[in-house]
A and B are shown apart, each in its own frame.
Chain A
Amino acid sequence: MKEKEDNENAHSSRRSFLRKMGIGAGAVTLAGIGATSLVKSNESGSQSGTTIKLLTTDGQLVEVDKNDIRPAKELLAEKKSEARAGLPNRKFAMVIDLARCKNARKCVEACQEGHKLPKDHEWMKLYLLQDDEHTAKYWFPRPCFHCDKPMCVSVCPVGATFKRQDGIVLVDNQRCIGCKFCMTGCPFSARVFNWKDPEVRLEEGQIYDPETNIPAVEGTVGKCVFCADNLRRNELPRCVTACPMGVIFFGDLMEDTVTNGNETFRFSKLMYDRAGYRFREELGTLPSVYYLPPTQRMFPVERGLDDADENIKGRYKSAGPR
């Protein structure tokens, strides 16, 4: 039985994580989804007397009467309080391997498409950095760092931006008053403001979910959400799956595992082997995004400009040591 299999796997958190992330072939066997085959409509509301053991998405084994089982809706935060609380027993983190990045910008495009962003809004931004004239240039993808001591959250006067138990920092654009204090508070320029009506509307029957931040609202702030909606469905963030080079790894520090969809590493070992670091550690905001230095890179830096259009090339004209 599927329940039994889930029960066993619950003990192996690493395997469970990988499978939840959709890696093990055909292994999407979460109880909530797997149990849909058992579903029969229960119009009478009576108890069948037969209970079934199910594993919830937060890893708890529960018993439910057979007649009470209903087909699961798409796993979205149903209430804003759910989106504000976040997923229990998780601590999401991202690792970006600078040695692999060649400014393909697929992460930016997937993010814009997935979050219905206007073309001039980039939640994921690509910088061409150089620390000193004697050191090399390198491509630097920058999502929101989802800091553990987020200045943006501290300074928000109305609680529109908040930190969840799984480490994700989100913006509720139905609460945001647009004071932009979070934008001056963030030292990483991770936030964008909707200076005009973004002209994105909700589809029929859809509710606003801070986990996707769709639709953007004029006069409010938006930023990278770590694809919290995908995480709720146990899928990887859009930038991770879109990257052709596998630059971006994503995972759960509770499970000490990160994956880019093809390769999977033990997070602590990867940090050790590749001397991982966080950007501007000295500011003390404790980012959830780690970088691997651009050693033994896969592409020369200049390759990043090969396929870029004029506008993109123009951005990096003045890139130099600072």
Chain B
Amino acid sequence: MQADNKLLKDLTPEIENTSYRWYAVFFIFLVFFAIGIYGLIQQIDKGHIVTGMRDNVVWGFYIVNFIFFMGLSYSGALISGVLHLFGTQWRKPIIRMAELITVISLVIGPFFIFFCIGRLDRLYFLFIYPRIQSPITWDVIAIMTDLVGCFIYLYLSFIEDFAILRDYADLNVPEWKKKLYRILSLGFTGTEKQLKILGNARTIMSAMIIAIAIIVYSVLAWIFGVTLQPGWHSTIFGPYFVIAAVYSGTGLLIILMWIFRKIYHLEEYITRRHFVNVGVLLTVIAAFYGYFTFSDYLTKWYGSIKMDSILIDKLFTEYYSLFIFANYIGILLPGIIIAFPKFRTIPNITVAAAIALLALWVNRYIIVIPTLETPFLPIQDTRPAWINYAPTWVEWALTIAGVSIFAMLFMLISKIAPIISISEMQEKDKEEILH
């Protein structure tokens, strides 16, 4: 299979050469990652006492990060899956990124559960003594299914590109990479029959990963929803978590579009139109997400149930600034920026996405922690850590390590595969895709 030479060079900036900048950035992330590993070793050695979690707040940063990373995986399912199903043309330059976000965040997310459990050495008990009544077992099944599904979906979109790279004679790469492309392209030559099979497979998978993604995140929400805890025991939690996840995934996609466009000079391929389109999508999701947030807190606030009142009081006193940031600024500001056409510049949309992403992490935090600080029986203790949760350096280090490994995996994949799908870009009408 042949591809336009310029297109190939532009979309695979890191495959042939590795820039000094690449090494430098990778090294910085590696250092952060190493600090996280050191923190993890401390935690395994000394026990969970090195974290800020104690008997009342038994879940902290780790669970927040777990939900957050799992939520990011929605960008692939929704942006790529939905846009594929509807045959939207402008999606083509950005779906590869969306799918990569999905798979990478799906791989990282569960590690935060591993950090959170007290006996990592007994993790396999989940498989040898599973109990189907437990939402954690549902989650194990759902996440594994999602991982397999998303890997297949991502790989299907890679096959054509690997075939192009395999057949590109002038590609100046080591022999092992050429061999890798030969194996991974599965003998794809672009015959009509092959294209039809591949096309069908991708359509089926895009529908499936949408369904699987909704199940995964609902199950995750039910881990909280099925308990009796004030603030968690909510029927709205399944759909609320799903929409929140789409919100964060879309936000991250915009940020990555901006980063890759900047460092790899992809201005020609990722244009303002893509930012505006994904931005509008973000605004629409913000409206839904804001609506869910509002109904959840309104019903708790309006009623007189004692535990709900105590929780709402806490949110509006101790957690006031976080609450305002997460649930007002984080929802309204991105909407306002993108809703007015004159604000719709690429930097503005990126800033809006960054606010949305950060606010969503904080939203997770104020769902998990304040509830655990307001148990049915009041906390009567003199130990500060038992009353209020405060993360320690270990939890911060592992959180930053999670972000670092996310970036590192992205950088490593850019060494092997195109960040924008070549095969999609050379198809059909370029005008429609880009402008």
Contacts and interface: CB of A to CB of B under 8 A. Distances in A.
A120 B49 CA distance: 13
A322 B382 CA distance: 19
B117 A184 contact: no
A127 to B, nearest CB: 6
A262 interface: no
A301 interface: no
Interface string B304-324: 001000100000000000000
A322 B47 contact: no
A156, A195, A196 — which one has the most chain B CB atoms within 10 A of its CB?
A: A195
B47 A197 contact: yes
Contacts of B54: 193, 195
A176 B134 CA distance: 14
Contacts of A322: 306, 310, 378
A183 B63 CA distance: 14
Interface string B97-141: 000000000000000010011110011011001110111110010
A315 B382 contact: yes
Q: Which applies to chain A's interface (DSSP): helix, strand, loop or mixed?
A: loop
Interface string B183-220: 00000000000000000000000000000000000000
A180 B126 contact: no
Interface residues of A, number: 49
Contacts of B377: 127, 129, 140, 142, 188-189
Contacts, number: 137
B351 interface: no
A151 B225 CA distance: 13
Interface string A171-199: 00001111111011101110111111100
A266 interface: no
Contact of A180 (B59, B122, B310): B59
B55 A192 contact: yes
Contact of A157 (B116, B136, B379): B136
B382 A314 contact: yes
Interface residues of B, number: 46
Contact of B134 (A157, A188, A189, A220): A157
A159 B125 CA distance: 10
Given A177-B125, A219-B118, A183 B55 contact: yes
Interface in A123-162: 127-129, 140, 142, 151, 154-160
B27 interface: no
B376 interface: yes
Nearest to A195: B49
A194 B379 CA distance: 18
Interface stretch (B165-173, B226-234, B410-418): B226-234
B47 A157 contact: no
Contacts of B306: 322
Interface string B44-56: 0011110001111
A218 B118 contact: yes
A322 B308 CA distance: 12
A311 B382 contact: yes
Contact of A158 (B129, B232, B376, B380): B129
A299 interface: no
Nearest to A191: B55
B376 A196 contact: no
Nearest to B136: A157
Nearest to A283: B228
A157 B380 contact: no
A177 B137 contact: no
B47 A196 contact: yes
B59 A128 contact: no
Interface of B: 46-49, 53-56, 58-59, 113, 116-119, 122-123, 125-126, 129-131, 133-137, 140, 223, 226-229, 232, 306, 310, 372, 375-383
26 contacts: A127-B378, A129-B377, A151-B228, A155-B133, A157-B134, A159-B131, A160-B125, A175-B122, A178-B118, A179-B116, A179-B136, A180-B58, A183-B55, A184-B58, A184-B372, A189-B376, A195-B49, A196-B46, A218-B47, A218-B118, A219-B48, A221-B118, A283-B228, A285-B228, A311-B382, A322-B310
Q: Which 5 A-B pairs have the closest CB atoms?
A: A178-B118, A219-B118, A157-B136, A196-B49, A157-B134
Given A184-B372, A187-B375, 10 more contacts: A127-B380, A154-B133, A157-B134, A180-B58, A181-B136, A181-B223, A184-B58, A189-B376, A192-B55, A193-B118
